[in-house]
Structure 1
């Protein structure tokens, strides 16, 4: 009985914000002190079907950026973690991987912005992508560093001794062993890029309107319906990733 009550309270606690967002999205003329909107409308959701809808464009832009950063950072982190583990200065290189997190994202963006301008990438998707990689790549490197232990090296040497080529050892031995960590790195770097606001807002100079930037814009404009819809779209991919990752973790071998 207590467990059911606790589960109900937790569902209620975590569900209330989403319920409020749903009411803000469909409610019209909702003013204090009214407890509920006087009129309900689906006009905001119908506008999502328009070809030139800004929210859908921001959703696609955010998915492209976060997906590209996740794949590139995970692949690069896998290679860099191996190089660091085999280096004589592994401790120093690992410590250097923490440097991007010594500064707030906004300050980091201000520091690298002159280099982005020199590369003629200011205000472009490429500039934002490069800035996000500077944060996500060290994170993936640190996350995957524990995989390259002495036991992993022994597995690789054993595969090579049994006749595997370096490519076969990577594809048939190392990648299957590393897949749980690679999957975690993909999800974490995706979320890191997906929810970024400060770095993206500075480097894009208002030209690359990701979904996170649009949420803050609508909130600043006091446009509650669009802010609510943008917020619901913002939490949708992470929720899907959470469900997929949960099913993978709970799956019996």
Structure 2
């Protein structure tokens, strides 16, 4: 009985913020001390269907940016982790992979911004790809655990049996690394998806991703649009969790 009450209490506490966001999204004028909104309106949600809606544009930019960062970081991290494993002093290179996290993300953005400007990428999606400076080391450290002696022996065995390097990669290594690659892809997507500091500084505020828009609406005290943008911000992570539900439950067991 106690465990059921505890579970119910935790579910309610977890659901409260989402319920509040849903209420704010349909409440154009919810003022203190009213417990519930006096008026409800779906106008902000209907406006999402408009072709020139800024929130949908921000959603598209965020999906594009996070997808490019996730795919690039995961692919690069896979090969960098392999190179570190085969290096003469792998521990030294692994330690260097932690360097981007020695500085706050905002300070890191300030340091690399002059290079972004010289490359004429400031204020564009290309400049925001500076997110790779933190995403690639993250993926490298995560995928480092795959390149054990066993993985190397499997690769050597495949080559001994007549596989070309390409066949060994696609038919042996990638299937073995599949679960870890999906995790790296998922994590680096979320890293880029929820980033605000690096994105805002490197784009000089011109690339309005969904996260940047949430902060902008909060600063404007526009609670309804901030709530709608926050709900949109939660949509892809929820979908990714749903897609990976079977793998997560399998790990929990």
Q: Tell me the TM-score normalized by structure 1.
A: 0.97
The list of structure 1 runs, each at least 4 consecutive aligned residues, that deviate by more than 6 angstroms after superposition, is: none
Q: CA deviation at 1:8?
A: 1.1
Give the gaps of 5 or more residues in structure 1.
none
Tell me what 1:132 maps to.
Answer: 131
Tell me what 1:30 maps to.
Answer: 30
d(CA) in 2 for partners of 1:147 and 1:29? Answer: 53
d(CA) in 2 for partners of 1:109 and 1:29? Answer: 38
d(CA) in 1 for partners of 2:189 and 2:29? Answer: 37
Tell me what 2:69 maps to.
Answer: 69
**1:83-136 deviation digits (Å, cap 9, x = unpaired):** 11000021111111001100111000000000000100001000001x111110
* SS of 1:37 mapped into structure 2: coil
d(CA) in 2 for partners of 1:247 and 1:59? Answer: 27
Give the gaps of 5 or more residues in structure 2.
none
d(CA) in 1 for partners of 2:102 and 2:241? Answer: 28
Q: CA deviation at 1:244?
A: 1.4
Contact 1:55 1:211 in 2 (8 A): yes
Contact 1:109 1:202 in 2 (8 A): yes
Superposition pairs of residues 2-151 of structure 1, within 5 angstroms: 2-129=2-129, 131-151=130-150
Tell me what 2:179 maps to.
Answer: 180
Over aligned residue pairs, what C-alpha RMSD do you find? 1.1
Q: CA deviation at 1:6?
A: 1.9
Q: How many residues are treated as equivalent by the alignment?
A: 251
d(CA) in 2 for partners of 1:91 and 1:248? Answer: 31
* SS of 1:40 mapped into structure 2: coil
Superposition pairs of residues 209-224 of structure 1, within 5 angstroms: 209-224=208-223
Q: CA deviation at 1:246?
A: 1.7
d(CA) in 1 for partners of 2:65 and 2:231? Answer: 19
Tell me what 1:232 maps to.
Answer: 231
Contact 1:28 1:38 in 2 (8 A): no
Tell me what 2:170 maps to.
Answer: 171
